[in-house]
Chain A
Amino acid sequence: MSKRRGERSTGRKLLVHLLLIVPTALSLLPFLWMLATSFKEPAELLGPMSFWPRKWTFENYVAAWNAAPFARYYINSVIVAACTVALQLVTGALAGYGFARVQMPGRDILFGIILATMMVPSTVTLVPSYLILNKLGWLDTYAALIVPWGATPFSIFLFRQFFRTIPRDLEDAARIDGCSQLGVLWRIVLPLSKPAVLTVATYGWIGSWNDFLWPLVMTDSEHMRTLQVGLRVFTQDAGTRYTLQMAAAAFTIVPILIAYFFVQRQFVEGIARTGLTE
């Protein structure tokens, strides 16, 4: 009997793999094509195309990297994404804690307003934001790329939901021991919220890393530009340098992919623990 069960579960495993392989392949197809193209010689795109390069070349990566100051763009993207994430964590954790645990006037209305800001297309807030950043004298600085995205409804929402799942007893005990409310957040609640922190950080990083129009509009100088802006340089009015563009796309995507692979387990748990719609 145990043997039969073993067979059944092997069969089921096989079925699961079979069911997963097709969607995974579909999800990967554009990436494989991007990668395959990035290793092709430009002339190969002219003939009848084969999926994989007939002749593999690394030239595109070298040429793409040198087509614009990508090293600088990389540093900027990392600085901007890291600072944005840090700020989102601070503002998100504080506000999330405030909404989850602290009494204040107009709490629900405030929370509703914050969620409503998700519903306004950023196309229309672009110029007003530009005017505000100009008044602050922040245009063409890191501040313009970081601060406006330093708080998001998503991170506040996520932290609030997550904190609600942490037993109050723990916090009360700490309060009795003379810990301040802020101290409770810092010493008790946050250490228990690693998955939420990771989730907010992942989404914050993806959003910041992939943003194009904002950094383009808010900065002027080349040395303030980020990777996504750099990717545009391969498109001109009369044509696109596909092989270079694909190589550049590859070297902007791969790092966050690797990072995601390492955090994905905690990431899922982070969302799982929030309960999301309590």
Chain B
Amino acid sequence: MKLTGSSRQLSGRRMSVVWVLSLLVAFVAGGTLAAAATEVTFWHALGSDHQAVLNELVAEFNAANPDVVVRAEYQGSYGDLQTKLIAAVSAGRAPTVSLVYNNWTAAFLDAGALVPVEQFFDHGEHGLSQAERDDYVASFVAANTWDGTWVTMPFNKSIYVLYYNQELLDRAGVGVPATMDELRAAAKAVKDKTGVYGFALKADIDHFGVFLHAFGGRWIEDGKTAFNGPEGVAALRFMQDLVLTDGSAYYHDGYLDEEFNVGNTAMFMATVATIPWVSNDLNWGAAPIPAGAVQASLVQGTDLAIFAQATPEEQLAAWRFVKFLTSPEVNARWAVATGYLPVRESAAQSATYQEYVNQDPKKYGAGVAQLEHAKFDPGLAAWFDARRNVTEAVEEALILGVDPQDALNRAAQATDRALGL
């Protein structure tokens, strides 16, 4: 809705229409509509609970910055958001800023559709000092950097943790597993002693990715797919052992917390974003992902990207909003309210966040404790193809009992083709 200035003599009736319209704009903008406010549209895929938190932050920013109006616009699921971004960029009406997955970032960057955030670092008044830059969690910075350029800002990030039902573990006489061997033993003990499954997992790339990195493997190494190396094979074999050999785990394709909440499984892996969904009727906790060869966990979630189609003023205004959202105090509040990870060291250390962790460290401590071991999916435009190929390999191994090496080799070949490696 744009109100241009060329409104010559307006009849009374027209005037009232304009008046109603501007009221509407003011209403939508959240109250503050200054004469020459720069508009920033912010597209996201955050539903009900998270959306409420986000809208509060947006209103706060708008109140503190009368010269900018940020409009947060919900665009459905992440898949819907991606569809919409493609349409909008091709039509030349991209939002000023949006949440993006890192493989989208790669594609939009390649198309010249993004303005790297680092362009604003030296802006003086609204810049980012070296100390502030160093405050961002290093592994996030690395994952948001393409060819040495810091492109996007991490925002709603989450990391895999191991959720466990304390009562079931107690009944099986096992502790919270710290290694993969312990995990396997614990799952078996739970199944044997209680009859309940010890572990639930998804037959997909994300769960495989967690095991892959815990067993010391990587997605890509030296520009070649590497997930079919010995570590990857060991990881997939481990999953296969849990499900097929021991029968102590099962695969599922929905939200695993639902399985956990109704008592179908004693343990499962999911990111910290699941915390609010776990039933507090259970005596539960969340531990770091058990170590295989190494201690590691996988990060998920999206980043803030500024789009190049906006005017420089709008881009700067968007940057100020991005800076605000990831400022230590706001970021800590966001993390506490949503369960997402703090993206800055000072936010993680802040009283706000520490208080949250300390209110029940057994539940809220594991995520941030793993930040130093965080691993990421590759920021490649064609990664979605890889996701399907790897998921199919995992399905073959867990459903059909295909040899992990064979399944992963096929997936690696297909991925190499898709990535043009």
- In the complex, the answer to whether B274 meets A239 with C-beta atoms within 8 Å is yes
The yes or no answer to B417 lying at the interface (CB within 8 A) is no
Write the nearest CB–CB distance from B364 to chain A, whole angstroms. Answer: 15
The yes or no answer to A10 lying at the interface (CB within 8 A) is no
Contacts of A139 in B (CB 8 A): 91, 93
The yes or no answer to B172 lying at the interface (CB within 8 A) is no
| Closest Cβ neighbor of A123 among chain B residues | B83
Number of A-B contacts (CB under 8 A): 91
| Closest Cβ neighbor of A223 among chain B residues | B28
Write the nearest CB–CB distance from A169 to chain B, whole angstroms. Answer: 50
Beyond A130-B91, A220-B73, A222-B73, whether A236 also contacts B84 by CB under 8 A is no
The yes or no answer to B139 lying at the interface (CB within 8 A) is no
Write the nearest CB–CB distance from B74 to chain A, whole angstroms. Answer: 7
Write the nearest CB–CB distance from B398 to chain A, whole angstroms. Answer: 23
Q: A87-95, A145-153, A227-235, A269-277: which lies at the B interface?
A: A227-235
| Closest Cβ neighbor of B271 among chain A residues | A238
| Closest Cβ neighbor of A241 among chain B residues | B48
B63-122 contacts to A, CB under 8 A, are: 71, 73-78, 80, 83-84, 86-88, 90-93, 95
Contacts of B77 in A (CB 8 A): 232, 235
* Cα–Cα, bound, A216→B24 (Å): 20
* Cα–Cα, bound, A126→B270 (Å): 34
Write the nearest CB–CB distance from B413 to chain A, whole angstroms. Answer: 29
- In the complex, the answer to whether A238 meets B273 with C-beta atoms within 8 Å is yes
- In the complex, the answer to whether B87 meets A127 with C-beta atoms within 8 Å is yes
Beyond A67-B48, A126-B83, A229-B76, whether A238 also contacts B277 by CB under 8 A is yes
- In the complex, the answer to whether A217 meets B87 with C-beta atoms within 8 Å is yes
Select which of B28, B51, B83, B257 is within 8 A of A239 by beta carbon: B257
| Chain A 126-144 interface mask (CB, 8 Å, partner B; 1/0) | 1100110010000110000
Select which of B28, B262, B279 is within 8 A of A222 by beta carbon: B28
Beyond A236-B48, A236-B50, whether A134 also contacts B274 by CB under 8 A is no
The yes or no answer to A16 lying at the interface (CB within 8 A) is no
- In the complex, the answer to whether A216 meets B84 with C-beta atoms within 8 Å is yes
- In the complex, the answer to whether A238 meets B87 with C-beta atoms within 8 Å is no
The yes or no answer to A27 lying at the interface (CB within 8 A) is no
- In the complex, the answer to whether B84 meets A238 with C-beta atoms within 8 Å is no
Contacts of A258 in B (CB 8 A): none
Write the nearest CB–CB distance from A135 to chain B, whole angstroms. Answer: 8
Contacts of B255 in A (CB 8 A): 238-240
| Closest Cβ neighbor of A130 among chain B residues | B87
**B contact residues, total (Cβ < 8 Å):** 44
- In the complex, the answer to whether B87 meets A221 with C-beta atoms within 8 Å is no
* Cα–Cα, bound, A46→B277 (Å): 11
Select which of B47, B84, B91 is within 8 A of A233 by beta carbon: B47
- In the complex, the answer to whether B76 meets A223 with C-beta atoms within 8 Å is no
The yes or no answer to A213 lying at the interface (CB within 8 A) is yes
The yes or no answer to B49 lying at the interface (CB within 8 A) is yes
Contacts of A46 in B (CB 8 A): 261-262, 279, 281
| Chain B 23-64 interface mask (CB, 8 Å, partner A; 1/0) | 010001000000000000101011111110000000000000
| Closest Cβ neighbor of B273 among chain A residues | A238
Contacts of A18 in B (CB 8 A): none
Contacts of B76 in A (CB 8 A): 216, 229, 232
The yes or no answer to A43 lying at the interface (CB within 8 A) is yes
- In the complex, the answer to whether A234 meets B47 with C-beta atoms within 8 Å is yes
Write the nearest CB–CB distance from A39 to chain B, whole angstroms. Answer: 19
- In the complex, the answer to whether A233 meets B73 with C-beta atoms within 8 Å is no
* Cα–Cα, bound, A130→B76 (Å): 17
* Cα–Cα, bound, A213→B83 (Å): 10
| Chain A 234-256 interface mask (CB, 8 Å, partner B; 1/0) | 11111111001000000000000
The yes or no answer to A47 lying at the interface (CB within 8 A) is yes
Contacts of A213 in B (CB 8 A): 80, 83
| Closest Cβ neighbor of B95 among chain A residues | A220
- In the complex, the answer to whether A131 meets B90 with C-beta atoms within 8 Å is yes
Beyond A126-B83, A233-B51, A238-B257, whether A221 also contacts B273 by CB under 8 A is no
The yes or no answer to B3 lying at the interface (CB within 8 A) is no
| Closest Cβ neighbor of B86 among chain A residues | A127
- In the complex, the answer to whether A236 meets B28 with C-beta atoms within 8 Å is no
Contacts of A131 in B (CB 8 A): 87, 90-91
- Ordered by A's residue number, 7 sampled pairs between the chains whose C-beta atoms are within 8 Å are A68-B48, A130-B88, A220-B73, A236-B48, A236-B50, A239-B255, A239-B277
Residues of A within 8 A of B (CB): 43, 46-48, 67-68, 126-127, 130-131, 134, 139-140, 213, 216-217, 220-223, 229, 232-241, 244
Starting from the known contacts A46-B262, A236-B47, A244-B48, 7 additional A-B residue pairs (CB-CB under 8 Å) come to A213-B83, A220-B75, A222-B73, A223-B28, A232-B77, A234-B48, A238-B255
Closest 10 CB pairs of A and B: A239-B277, A236-B47, A238-B273, A134-B91, A130-B87, A238-B274, A127-B87, A233-B47, A46-B261, A216-B76
